[in-house]
Structure formats: structure tokens, C-alpha cells
Amino acid sequence: MGQQIETRARWGAKTLKGTAMLETDYILFRGAGKKDSATRVKIPFRDVRSLDARDGWLRIRHVGGALEIELGPRAEKWAEKIRSPRGLLDKLGITPRAAVSLVGAADSGFRAQLAARGCSIAEGMPAPGAALIFFGAERRQDLTRARTLAGRLAPAGALWIVYPKGQKHITEYDVIAAGRATGLKDVKVVGFSPTHTALKFVIPLANR
């Protein structure tokens, strides 16, 4: 879902070939080929201690050591994204004064952010033509409501299903399957909180 590039990196005394990926809250380098495939370095932005972008290389010092990635002209752009990551509402595409429907996804911190942005908040079953619906599904059984909620979307609206991360009783596969079964298309995933993930579903263009 983020940006990625086939490149090389310096990790300790090694120079490795692989893929660098910039996500919303971490950077990842994954080695390629038999020689380097066991190397996987994931650095959450919160663990970064210093950044330096020079001569096409991004140098990251973090709590686990140092990683250097060859990015060419992207080096400074990636450094800036790491220094100033977007907030949750920006990642979710919530603009100031947006109308937001919450269906079992009323986390107090999320609600406070919406209020600070001047959003109007509706609880319970959304009215027809809803632009943004956030549906909290804590169990696989909850996903049966996805079809009804999908029917309440505006043509260009979005249904975000918020679910616990790393659980067996409700998985990403379950959520994607439930959304697709309604005729919607999954287009984006966002880390909603330390414990939950949000998957975005929209009506395919051909069906609007």
C-alpha cells in the first residue's frame, strides 16, 4: 500500500540487494535472492533516532542500529515523510467538517480527533447516501452487517471496517471476504491504533 523500490542497502558490514518499502508508520528493507533473503529490517518511525539524506542514500540510525538505503532522488522525500508522518485522519481521508458515521467504532481517541477537525458524527445505522462509514467488527460474526452498511454508501463513499489486528477469531482474510461479498472493492489498509487495523472498501467505478 506504500511506496517501494528495488535497490540495495548497507546493514552492519553487509551490502545487500532487495526491496525498500515506505509505509505509513514504518520503513522496511527485505533482502532478495538466496544470499540476502533472510535479511528483513523493519524500523517503526517512533524508533528512529536520526536521519540523513545525502548523495542519494538515506541513512537511518534507530534503536536497533543503523540502516543505509540507496534511493537516489527519493532519499530526501522519504526522509521528510519519516520526519513528518501523516496523522490518522489524513491517512483515512477525513477532511475538515466531514460527515462521519460510526457503527461500533467509537474509540474515544478517534472521536476526539474527529471533533477537533470539526466533523459531524452520527451514531448507529447510517442514513442512505453516507460518505464515510466506520464499522467496528470485533468478531467474525459481526461482519454479517457489512452488506447492510454497504447499501447505505454514497456512490463515491467509503466503508472502513475496523478490526483487531493479529487475532485468529477475526482475520484480514475474513474482513476482505466479507467486504467483497457485498460487491465492494478493498483499496487501502491503515493502522488504526496499536490494537486495530482499518480496511477501506468502495463501490467499484463500473457500479456507481
| pLDDT above 80 (res 55) | yes
What's the confidence (pLDDT) of residue 180? 97
Per-residue pLDDT, averaged over 78-100, amounts to 91
**CA max distance for the chain:** 59
Alpha carbon separation from 103 to 48, 135, 155 (Å, rounded) = 36, 5, 19
- The model's pTM is 0.69
What's the confidence (pLDDT) of residue 36? 64
What's the confidence (pLDDT) of residue 25? 81
Segments of the chain assigned to CATH 3.40.50.150: 89-207
CATH top class, domain 3-85: mainly beta
Segments of the chain assigned to CATH 2.30.29.30: 3-85
CA distance 183 to 201: 9
Mean pLDDT value across the chain? 92
CB atoms within 10 A of CB 115: 11
| pLDDT above 90 (res 187) | yes
| 63 Cβ neighbours under 8 A, 6+ residues apart | 47, 49
C-alpha cell at 89: 485522519
Q: Please write the tens of the pLDDT for every residue from 4-51.
A: 999 999 998 889 999 999 987 889 999 987 766 678 999 999 899 999
Coil, strand or helix at 147: helix
Residue type, 111: R
| pLDDT above 90 (res 183) | yes
Contact 59, 68 (CB under 8 A): yes
Contact 201, 187 (CB under 8 A): yes
**φ, ψ dihedrals at 169, nearest 5°:** -80, -15
Residue type, 105: A
β 153-164/185-191 pair status: unpaired
Coil, strand or helix at 17: strand
Q: Say which DSSP state 72 is in.
A: T
In this structure, of 61-65, 105-109, 200-204, the range with the lowest mean pLDDT score is 105-109
Of 3.40.50.150, 3.30.200.20, 2.60.40.1930, 2.30.30.90, the CATH number of 89-207 is: 3.40.50.150
C-alpha cell at 81: 515523510
| pLDDT above 70 (res 89) | yes
In this structure, of 53-62, 67-76, 105-114, the range with the lowest mean pLDDT score is 105-114
